[in-house]
Amino acid sequence: MKNIIGFVLIVTLLYSCNTQIKTDERKVSRIETTIEYLVIDENFTKDTTKYKTSIKKYDANNNLLEEMDYFNNIFYGGLIYKYNSENKKTNEYLISSNGDYTHYEYKHLPNQIDKYRIYKNKHQEKVESTFLDSNSISNDIVMSEQNQRREIFTYESYDNKGNWLIRKSFKNDMPHSVTYKSIEYRNESD
């Protein structure tokens, strides 16, 4: 697994040098790398020929700065986020596998967040509005039902900060995947 993570980090560095939009690495306080394998039997035997690697970078305020996805070590795409001084998301860049990107801008209003697509000619198009009430909270989803399929996650290992390191997935009560996460903490004051 260390070889795969090392390869992905090298690919990430090479990719980062070729794109126009970049994460300010000085702001990164945590990097999470996950590798998800499909399983081929009920004993969670990994299918090592099919896997997805995701690398997520967070700042000290736990804002997600960047998430990049790879399938079988081939860059698939990703997102880069920017925030204002109040930790509100202001910009999102959806990056394709060829390095092109789509730019979105967020406008925060009382009880509402509007998301606009920004075209190369600076034209803006509203693509989403999120309405908030005073009781809005976010929760991690551990079970979802889509198209009559049910997915349940079990967590088997945690680090000393309470973050999961091994997650198993069941779809319709059958083993589906196993995901391993490694976390690098940076710039922490003890």
Q: What pLDDT digit, counting tens, does each position of 79-90 carry?
A: 999 999 999 999
Residue 51 sits at the vertex; the CA angle it makes with 45 and 52, to the nearest 5 degrees, is 135
Q: Do the domain assignments include residue 190?
A: no
Range of the domain at 99: 2-185
Our count of domains for the chain comes to 1
In angstroms, the CA 17 to CA 141 distance is 34
- Report the pLDDT value the prediction gives residue 160, as an integer from 0 to 100: 92
pLDDT tens by residue, the chain, 190 residues: 555 445 444 444 444 444 568 899 999 999 999 999 999 998 999 999 989 999 999 999 999 999 999 999 999 999 999 999 999 999 999 999 998 999 999 999 988 888 999 998 989 999 888 877 655 433 333 334 444 567 788 888 899 988 999 999 988 888 999 999 999 998 665 4
Q: For residue range 1-43, what is the model confidence (pLDDT) as tens digits? A: 555 445 444 444 444 444 568 899 999 999 999 999 999 998 9
In a domain, 38, yes or no: yes
Angstrom distance (rounded) from CA 111 to CA 134: 8
Residue length of the chain? 190
SS3 88: coil
